[in-house]
Structure 1
Amino acid sequence: MRPVIDIRNVHRIFESEAGCAHILHNVSLAVNPGEFVAITGPSGSGKSTLMNILGCLDKPTAGDYYLQGLNVAELDDDELTEVRALSIGFVFQSFNLLPRLTVIENVMLPLAYTNVPRSQREMRAVHALQAVTLPVDHWDHRISELSGGQMQRVAIARALVNDPPIILADEPTGNLDSATGALVMETFHKLQKRGKTIVLITHDPGIAAEADRAVTIRDGRIHDGAYIPHAPRTLRGAVDSLPMISASINPPKGVMA
């Protein structure tokens, strides 16, 4: 089975007037179709940098990233925008919803920049809201009239409106109480049963335990939960001279490293 997400020996180095910050070190991770993976680790560990690379919002300084078999490094900005629109749905801790719009208008928003006719946009938004089981009588409400859990379900519906195969969620339960967070996690489990691949960042070990596999990252290095599906390639460019530090890899049952 070919992974839908396959990063190999990735480094991310940020340069500034203060010097170079080496955020990710030789990171390799594969995620198979339909898998639910949690990425966990302390603040400053590199989780958000890794998620930005997975979401094609940033590119590695060195190493390879294959998304559904496409080499991300070879794509230009327009192609990356198209990949994000069609292949990835984003869910954020802060919801990122527009308060002046209604629920259904927020869900339709990603389709505003496409050639999809308005009638079809509404139909897709309805299907997405049905998928997250938000009651119909809430669809014409303003965002400010919703609870935190309802807002997050709207945000998940918005991520689903283009029917992407991959959902990337950054601390989706971080602003919610335990009971509401449990309802949001139930939504993710239902999406996985529909065949979606889910990668979720969390600080909460209880949330991470609900995933098929938890990947731990500390100091920019993966320590648990990753596996490499192919032989690693030789690194290029700026990190050729850097010492390579191999991650400790614990493959899930039935998967060979």
Structure 2
Amino acid sequence: MGCCRCPSPSPCRAARRHRPGPGRFATIAYHAIGEDGRDKHYSIAESMLVQHVSFLRQDGWHFIGIDALLAAPDGRRPLPDKVLLLSFDDGYDDYATRVFPLLHAVNVPAVVALVTSWMETPANGTLDYGGTPTPRRGLITWAQARAMQASRLCEFASHTHDLHHGVPANPQGDVKLAVVTRNWNGVRYETDAKWKRRIETDLARASTILARELGSRPRCMMSAGGPRTTLPTMSMSPGSCSAAAGWCISNPTRSPTS
């Protein structure tokens, strides 16, 4: 499976370059959807998202959700050509006020990936967004998430609990994303075993919180920090995703704010 991030004005080149064959699917991962697309990192204008969806539909793409992916491997419902999964990372408030009304109007499913430590921040509090204190009010609420989920168009995925921050990566003082970095504590690097345990503990905590707030464990997760990690395997470890699923979609960005 692959991920096609599309911050550019037109998805045409990206869609054609990543066009999947039979039995495969493509994804487009969005972040903030703003009025003019310039107020947040990795954001685009709402009007641009409308153009993307319109173009993709006219170009013959089929929008699918997680149910279709789960039905495909065992042959119950093979995927047609040119199938596409839309995902929206981080849980911005734009998703409830701009994205969900659009998806509902055109009957397009999508996956929304939540960072549960951000979601657990008090309503009047701030969260660490790539090293920048950011108001919690910039994210959707749990009540909004439940309303979106009730439509059956939006599926909520894990985007980790608290792995979107930087950690010391080496003696030279570089800071890298916690999810892919073996911490440097000033003396030695974190061992692979400790890193694996840290990541698995985080994913399990995210899954527990999502189950508590939304009624079920996530059936998929959106990986942060690059596609070449062991997260696809670790996302299927006990407590991380529902036993029936375990999809992990990799996000190729290397930014702590992905």
Taking structure 1 as the reference length, the TM-score comes to 0.31
Higher alpha-carbon Rg? 1
Q: TM-score, normalised by structure 2?
A: 0.31
**Bigger relative contact order, structure 1 or 2 (CA pairs below 8 A, ≥6 apart):** 1
Q: Which has the higher strand share?
A: 1
